[in-house]
Amino acid sequence: MKAKSPLSVRLLYWFATIGFYLMISIQILVIVLFVGRAAGVVPINDLQLRVQLPMKFDVEEQGAVHYGGNVHLVYLEEASSKIYFVDTPDFVSNFGIVSMLVAITLFVVMLHKFRAILGNVRVKQVFVHANIKHLKTLAYLLVAFWLFTVGYMYFAFYWIHDKVGFETVQMTNNLGLNGYSWMLFTALVIWILAQIFGYGVQLKEESDLTI
C-alpha cells in the first residue's frame, strides 16, 4: 500500500490551491474592472477609492494613563491613516487598479510556485531539481514584490506631497519601509533553502549511482 503524505502537507497543498484560485478570481475581476473603465462601461465617478497613506502624519495629542493611583502623561506624535478620494480622479483610480493588478499577479505566481513545491512533496518528490527551481523563483518574486512595494510607496508619497494638501495635517517623510524588510529576509531564507535542496539532490544522485 502506498504511504500517504503527512496530513500537514496535504492541508497546506489544498489551502494553497484554494488561495491560488481565489486570487485568480480576484485578478480576473480587477482586469474586468480596468477594461470596463477603459471602455466607459464603469463611470469614473462611481469609483470611491480609499487607500492607506504611504506616509505618516504629525499629530499633537495628549492623553493620560491612570495606573496604580498615579496619572502618567502620554503623547501621540505620529499616526497613519487612509485617504479617501471622493469622486476619484481618473489618474488615481487607474494607478490604483494597475498597482493592485501587478501586486495580485506577483502574489498569484508566488502561490503557484508554492503550490507546485507542495505538490511535489505530496507525492514524495522532495529533493528534485524542480523544487530547487521553484524555490529560487519564489525568492526572486519576493524581492520583486519588495521592489514593487517600495516603488509604489515612493511614487504615491511624492504624488500626494505634490498634489494633496490639508489645512491642519502635516505629512512626515516616514514611509515605514522597515516594516517590509521581512520580504527580503524571507527571500534570503528561501534562497538558502534552495541551496540546501540542491545539496540534497546531489547526495541523492550520488547515492543512486552507487546502488
Whether residue 208 lies inside any domain: the answer is no
Between CA 80 and CA 54 the distance in angstroms is 8
Is residue 132 a contact partner of residue 100, using CB atoms and an 8 Å limit? no
pLDDT value for 42 = 67
pLDDT value for 1 = 46
Is residue 5 a contact partner of residue 124, using CB atoms and an 8 Å limit? yes
Whether residue 169 lies inside any domain: the answer is yes
Whether residue 141 lies inside any domain: the answer is yes
Domain that includes residue 11, residue range: 7-51+88-203
Mean pLDDT split into 10-residue runs, the chain, 211 residues:
76 94 93 82 68 81 88 86 82 86 95 95 90 96 96 89 81 81 95 93 78 59
* Three-state DSSP state, 164: coil
Cα first-last separation, the chain: 24
Whose cell is 544522485? That residue is 205
Confirm whether pTM is higher than 0.85. no
Whether residue 71 lies inside any domain: the answer is no
* Total structural domains within the chain: 1
Whether residue 209 lies inside any domain: the answer is no
Nearest to 101 by CA among 46, 182, 30, 152: 30
Whether residue 72 lies inside any domain: the answer is no
Between CA 168 and CA 156 the distance in angstroms is 20
Whether residue 96 lies inside any domain: the answer is yes
Between CA 79 and CA 150 the distance in angstroms is 20
pLDDT value for 48 = 75
